[in-house]
Amino acid sequence: MRVPEESTASCVCAAAPSSSRHIAWDIGELLIGYCLILAVIWTPRPLQHWLYYIALGWFIVSILLSFEGWRAMGCCVAGFWRSSWVVGVALILTAIATFFASSLHTLHHPGGPTAWVKTFAGYTLWALAQQLLLQGYFLARLLRIIPRANLAAFITAVVFALAHLPNPILTPLTLIWGLTACLVFIRSRNVYPLAIAHAIFGICVAVTIPASLLHNMRVGLGYLKYRPQPVHLSHNDHVASTDAWVIAEAPTRR
């Protein structure tokens, strides 16, 4: 019997729970991983660097031990176009935000094309890493624990937003984006459009909202210790930016 093309397009990324896996192990992975993320965000240097490497090592080992294939993490071709509409929405919202920021004289950017690439290339890659962690790691495990997919998506979005405290702008924005991304992922099972939209939204926020309000997109201890810098997009004084869940220096320069 021939499998319908639509079934193939679903990518079968949501692997059925294996009898060999225990819910307790999934819960343990989530708790340890999230606690390490919070530790990196809220710990000062030099201890922060050590915790960063511990967190990075934990996620690598944890993913390898329970690796079910790239498709299970949303790294596949099928489903890409089904969820590509989020990229269009991100571009439209970014255009609107840029227009208002220009009118209010809050728009700021690195300069020419080369400066844009140097500033945001690393962030673009980190946006992909965040979506892989958010959907391919946290959401995937919660879907095995919680039978209701919408509830699993909501919980994933909440823990994502809580990791952005005490930033009053990023916290609600990441709650909205986290929930939207998780719901889209459940339907399309593809992380790439979400990563592209994430990068667009993140860059938009960085160049349209003043650093005095956004604290250079920092969270945790970095937000509290923020001091204005001569260069708006510099994060050198603290590596725990909004993107420093697991990566230390890569997302700190924008």
Give pLDDT tens digits for 149-171: 999 999 999 999 999 999 999 99
For the chain, what percent of residues have pLDDT higher than 90?
Answer: 56
- pLDDT of residue 115 exceeding 70, the answer is yes
Can you give the pTM of this predicted structure?
Answer: 0.80
Does residue 9 sit within a domain? no
Residues 199 and 123 sit within 8 Å (Cβ to Cβ): yes
Does residue 8 sit within a domain? no
pLDDT score, position 97: 95
Number of domains in the chain: 1
pLDDT score, position 5: 39
Does residue 10 sit within a domain? no
- pLDDT of residue 2 exceeding 90, the answer is no
Mean pLDDT of 85-101: 95
CA distance 245 to 56: 9
Angle at 182 between CA 177 and CA 185, to 5 degrees: 120
pLDDT score, position 205: 94
CA distance 178 to 173: 8
Mean pLDDT of 205-210: 92
- For residue 161, how far is the Cα from the chain centroid? 10
One-letter identity of residue 43? T
161 contacts: CB under 8 Å, gap ≥ 6 = 171, 172, 174, 175, 178
Nearest to 62 by CA among 138, 149, 128: 138
230 confidence band (pLDDT: 50, 70, 90): low
Cis-peptide, bond into residue 46, ω within 30° of zero? yes
- pLDDT of residue 208 exceeding 50, the answer is yes
pLDDT score, position 233: 43
- pLDDT of residue 146 exceeding 50, the answer is yes
Does residue 12 sit within a domain? no
Domain hosting 186: range is 21-252
Helix (H, G, I), strand (E, B) or coil at 150: helix
253 confidence band (pLDDT: 50, 70, 90): very low
Does residue 248 sit within a domain? yes
pLDDT score, position 227: 81
Identify the top-confidence range among 20-24, 190-194, 233-237.
190-194
155 contacts: CB under 8 Å, gap ≥ 6 = 142, 146
Q: What is the pLDDT of residues 193-207, one digit of tens each?
A: 999 999 999 999 999
Does residue 116 sit within a domain? yes
Does residue 1 sit within a domain? no
Q: What is the pLDDT of residues 26-81, one digit of tens each?
A: 999 999 999 999 999 999 989 999 999 999 999 999 999 888 888 888 888 888 89
Mean pLDDT of the chain: 82
Does residue 164 sit within a domain? yes
